Structure 1
Amino acid sequence: MAITPNSGAEISLEEAQKLIQNFQAKFPGEIKASFYGIETLNLILNQEGIIGVRIYYGYDSVAKKIAVVLVGVDSTGKDMTAILVDKGEDCPNNCDITSPLY
């Protein structure tokens, strides 16, 4: 399936909870989430020709934790590597403990 500006789909709270529960059961010592501010996200989103964002999963061997790298994607499906984002504020340090996703 080709990527488009409409790739991805909204899911229910229950589906999200199940995905998160499965992850936390499989990786109990890992981060629960990462927060990225709007200004940082806009560095990616304001690039000319962007149609979406790809998220790569990595591992920070210094901090010993899963990491994500966000990159813009153009209409041909190519990564726009001029601006890459990582170093979000991780949960459990910065979490909404009242969230049904927590």
Structure 2
Amino acid sequence: MSFNGNESSAISLAVATEMTSDYRTNNPNETKAHFFGKNKLMDILNQNGCVGIRAYYGIDADGNKQLVFVGADADEKDLYSGVILDMSAPCPSNCDNTSPLNG
């Protein structure tokens, strides 16, 4: 199989709210979300051959849950010689307290 840039699918707000609620219930003291800026995401997406972003789970030096983003090509290969992102703005403390996804 190979990537074509159309992987993933949209879900409804109701499904997303249920999923995030279930996560918060089962992980009450964990990071709820991560924010990555558009410009940094575009640095990954604008690399030659990039058709999408792969997210890895990681733990930082302080023991906190993080996401590590790397571009991927159509052959499902990580573009690890290019831009790799971490150090997101985590929720908490960078949260939208009005969002149903953070209810």
Tell me the TM-score normalised to structure 2 length.
0.90
Q: What root-mean-square deviation, in Å, do the aligned CA atoms of Structure 1 and Structure 2 show?
A: 1.3
Name 2:54's counterpart in structure 1.
Answer: 54
Give the gaps of 5 or more residues in structure 1.
Answer: none
Name 2:13's counterpart in structure 1.
Answer: 13
Cα distance, 1:41 vs structure 2: 0.9
1:29 aligns with 2:68: no
Name 1:66's counterpart in structure 2.
Answer: 65
> 1:55-97 CA distances to partner (integer Å, 9 max, x unpaired)?
111122x322211000100011100012110101111111110
Q: Which runs of 4+ in 1 moved over 6 A?
A: none
1:78 aligns with 2:77: yes
Identity between Structure 1 and Structure 2 (%): 40
More strand by share: 1
Distance 2:19 2:41 in 1: 24
Distance 1:84 1:4 in 2: 21
Distance 2:50 2:19 in 1: 28
Distance 2:63 2:78 in 1: 26
* CA 1:83–1:4: 2 relative to 1, 3 Å: same
Name 1:99's counterpart in structure 2.
Answer: 99
Are the equivalent residues in 1 in contact too, given 2:55–2:69 (CA < 8 A)? yes
Tell me the TM-score normalised to structure 1 length.
0.91
Aligned residues: 101
Counterpart amino acid of 1:65?
Answer: N
Cα distance, 1:4 vs structure 2: 2.3
> 1:29-78 CA distances to partner (integer Å, 9 max, x unpaired)?
11111111111111101101110111111122x32221100010001110
Counterpart amino acid of 2:44?
Answer: I
